[in-house]
Amino acid sequence: MLESPKLNISRSADDDLVIGFEGSWRISQGLHSLEDVEKAIASAPGLRRIVFDSGKLTVWDSSLVSFVIKVLDFGRDKNIDVARDGLPEGVLKLVSLATAVPEQKDARKRAAPIPFLAAIGTGTLKILSSTSEMVAFLGETSLAFLKFFRGKARFRRVDLVLFIQECGAQALPIVSLISVLVGLILAFVGAVQLRMFGAQIYVADLVAIGMTREMGAMMSAIIMAGRTGAAFAAQLGTMQVNEEIDALQTLGLSPVEFLVLPRTIALILMMPLLCLYANFMGILGGGIIGVGMLNLSLIEYFTETKHAINIVDINAGLFKSVVFGVIIALSGCMRGMQCGRSAAAVGVATTSAVVTAIVFIVVFDGLFAVIFDVLGI
């Protein structure tokens, strides 16, 4: 069993302060305090020199080195010479290495606050740089689509099939759950007011129009932004970290064609189908409230639903879903391609992809609302 670390402080014949180490100085046994040394120096005014004695020291590690450095710093502050002769050779080397480059003065002070105008300028430059990168990425993607329509785009068709499966069939469970709940919520909110006037039947109109024109496309897009857009960003970000995208460029393959194009095509194809499915599930959820709480028959509910919507309402939602699919795919792929070279950067890219997609989805949905109103759709 190792002896506990001991510190013996005494005075030599030359009136030097002798710090003797005894036993085992291991980090697992804790760090020794400098308090005893400070008290000994305070009780010896006029002390000019400190020496070490390691004759009874058995084993040591970084805890001893740390203690010696503390003594050296304390002696420097008090203008006391500290002799290193009595230390083991290994400790001398480590102490010399640790003190070879002194800490710069004021190195630990906080950076000065950035002036207000400088912060505005920095933020503006970041926005301009981000906008420039976004426009460049959109241009590269547009050129890749032109090559695709001419049959010259180079990507693996099996990847396209895989992404279609991931964006379509594998997304059905979460889309089903959220769409049914949205239909339930719309129907319940409408029922609370319409039941006061005996107009429960119009809950079917509310749910049908709300799902087909707005909520079906919107909720599908938000779900896919958090599910698929984030996955795209993480996949491409990891490839960026592993330098796989650089390898594609070395082989003469365009990363936009090989990686971005199949993902974007898959979402463009699947989003309208998911939107239709979300519309149906939302209307089904509204029917649960209509039949279960409002005493409507199933035939009454779906008959009123059929009269409430027309092909224009359905097409408006489908058109939105296609645009939302493009936004989700491009946001996820763009942030993934812009990812840095670390694991933390992959997380940042994933978060940024979801935020970017949702922001643009909401913005474009508002624009569509204004445009449809102007066109009378």
pLDDT band at 27 (very low <50, low <70, confident <90, very high): confident
Tell me if 119 is assigned to some domain. no
In a shared domain, residues 170 and 300: yes
**Which of 61, 83, 98 corresponds to the end of one domain?**
98
Tell me if 112 is assigned to some domain. no
Q: Mean pLDDT, to the nearest integer, of 180-185?
A: 92
Q: What is the pLDDT of residues 215-267, one digit of tens each?
A: 999 999 999 999 999 999 999 999 988 888 888 888 888 889 999 999 999 99
Domain limits for position 276: 127-375
In a shared domain, residues 56 and 146: no
Total number of domains constituting the chain: 2
43 pLDDT above the threshold of 70: yes
- The model carries a pTM of 0.69
**Which of 56, 79, 98 corresponds to the end of one domain?**
98
Q: Answer for the pair 121, 129: CB distance below 8 angstroms, yes or no.
A: no
In a shared domain, residues 45 and 152: no
**Which of 98, 119, 149 corresponds to the end of one domain?**
98
Residues with Cβ within 8 Å of residue 260, at least 6 apart in sequence: 141, 144, 329, 330, 333, 337
Tell me if 224 is assigned to some domain. yes
Tell me if 118 is assigned to some domain. no
In a shared domain, residues 252 and 334: yes
In a shared domain, residues 143 and 258: yes
Tell me if 284 is assigned to some domain. yes
pLDDT band at 189 (very low <50, low <70, confident <90, very high): confident
Mean residue pLDDT across the chain:
85
In a shared domain, residues 38 and 131: no
CA triple 99-101-107, angle to 5 deg = 110
Q: Answer for the pair 272, 322: CB distance below 8 angstroms, yes or no.
A: yes
In a shared domain, residues 140 and 187: yes
358 pLDDT above the threshold of 90: yes
In a shared domain, residues 94 and 150: no
Tell me if 234 is assigned to some domain. yes
CATH number at residue 42: 3.30.750.24
Tell me if 206 is assigned to some domain. yes
Tell me if 33 is assigned to some domain. yes
In a shared domain, residues 145 and 251: yes
107 pLDDT above the threshold of 60: no
